[in-house]
Structure 1
Amino acid sequence: MVGMVGSSALLIVISILGPCAKLVAILAIPLVLPFTTNASYPSKASRKRVFEHGLDTKRPLVPYKLLLTAMIHGASFGSLILFVQLYPDSGSTLLFNALWFLVGMLFVFVLVFLFRRDYNSLIYRCSLPCIALGLLLVCLQGFGIMVGCSLIALGYAFLHVVMCGVCAYLVRQFDIPTLWVLCLTTLFFAMGQVVGVVLIGVGIAKGVSLNVLAATGLFGVLVAALYLSTDVNVRYGWGIVRPSESIEENAAIPSAVRLLATERNLTTRESEVIALAAQGMARKEIASALVLSEDTIKSHVRHAYAKLGISSKQELIELVQGKAARKRRGE
């Protein structure tokens, strides 16, 4: 309540400022808020857990992956607003955007509960490519602008729903104040929105064509998606969580196996075999469950053991259970 009253008062003050002062305020506030938010963070232990990228990493850094994603989220929204302002016939209205939110939520539901996608897949392989495809169509102009704006709106709505899920997971899993998580991600969302609007606005003022602006945005989104979904990033933290599973399920054997598989470069089939073996299943049972021969299972187990640096099923069970226990503790 206090935050809502404060933000409303701040908006009133900004609205009565002159054009130059208003621009300075809009650009300055996002730069000041990180320091106040950082100072109000609860405890060093919780801070370490949420700032680390994963369970065993030795780099307690700022969670740049989450914050950059929030900025891209905001930049897509800022770009959409400006495109709609420049091209009123693009078809983007309040009702139009609301419908895209419904479509976006439907896609999230299908991918989460039917295909059991994790957050990395939802963000970097679904929503960002959708936004990039929208920017590509905007480059074509004509009818492509309307379709492109629609895809950008869909990607934005999809990403918005997924980011809400990520924030909810962080709050519950790491016992972080809800206000802190929402303020931090909203802050970078606002910064991204400002960056998107300013860059496009300055480009238009300098006479840069819409094709070039959209192509630049397309390049930026694709580079960000590739960079943020590299093997180093996807092996740690919230990205590998599947929102269709409970926190307890994500912290248990399946999640621990996914972590080990990514860290030790196991193949998909090796991961499946190890996941079943870690639950105590015999080779024959695994072969029946995966519809493979016992010799094939034996080969996968041998290769997986070599990558994991173990030599027996008991060592595998202890390794997986230890990884799951550390994830439960948030270490």
Structure 2
Amino acid sequence: MENKILLSHGSGGKQTSSLINNLFVKYFDNNIIKAMNDSAQIKLVGTRIAFTTDSFVISPQFFKGGDIGKLAVCGTVNDLSVSGARPCYLTSAFIIEEGYSMESLELIVKSMAETAKKAGVKIVAGDTKVVEKGNVDGVYINTTGIGELYNNINISASRAEVGDLIIVNGNIGEHGMSIMCERSGIDIYGELKSDCDPLNELVGCMLKVCKDIHVIRDATRGGIAAVLNEIAEASDVSVELNYENIPVSEEVKGACELLGLDPLYIANEGKLCCFVPKEYALNVLKEMKKNVLGKNAAIIGKVVEETHYKVYLKTVVGGKRIVDMSSGEQFPRIC
């Protein structure tokens, strides 16, 4: 590992993976953390729960499609949901910079309350710390969530199997690209905005159609590329993506072409990818399309026998392009 923490250690790419595995997993050594899922799955007397925590340091804190408060609730609700749990309760902790606008803070808290109500969860505890001016950029939020795991559901990054079809619930790259454009003052024609939304209702509908979905992950930092590489590594399989099937809006395509970026590596906050047995995939896709958050869902690839490339893309001309985890930092402070 490097001698100092870099911004790239928070990007969701190779440096993040190295930091997690070579430091945190090394010392917090147990079977639960080694599973590397979005939520820890824990057995208590009489029930099984999912338990997760996350911190949010986005800049700007208000953006098209949401704000740091909405993001904090959605991020934690979604981590519980893609683990096969029904989100129930959240806690929230605020680290606030001295001099921060009370009006802005009220807007953030109100947004959290509205998003929690939409997701059907309760914010039941929290903490507040105020630090000297300059020690925090406005406000940072940490949220912790508890959810009740559905019966007879076994979702894990290590369960991808050869033959599984891979589905995403809609256009990728909208959150990260929207934040980047707002931060840089780039005006993109159209309706480019963050896709930040709670996914628990969508996931619940998917699991009613197929209880044997092998993997579900929300593609946040590092985008679809990072998530697919993590799953391929955990399941010891390879992933073949079909370029023509990956849904990307014209606004994101245009912004990526302008900035020389790849939508596969751009963060999302309302997009998941799931690995579904082939015989159930079309039914799951049909159910997803009934939900407003899945109307642009598409099958983007499949799991194949392990090859030299963990994740690769079939191009329009029939070639193959390796889709590795990102190295370095594309978008600081996007979640």
TM-score normalized by structure 1?
Answer: 0.26
Larger radius of gyration: 1
Higher relative helix content: 1
TM-score normalized by structure 2?
Answer: 0.25
Higher relative strand content: 2
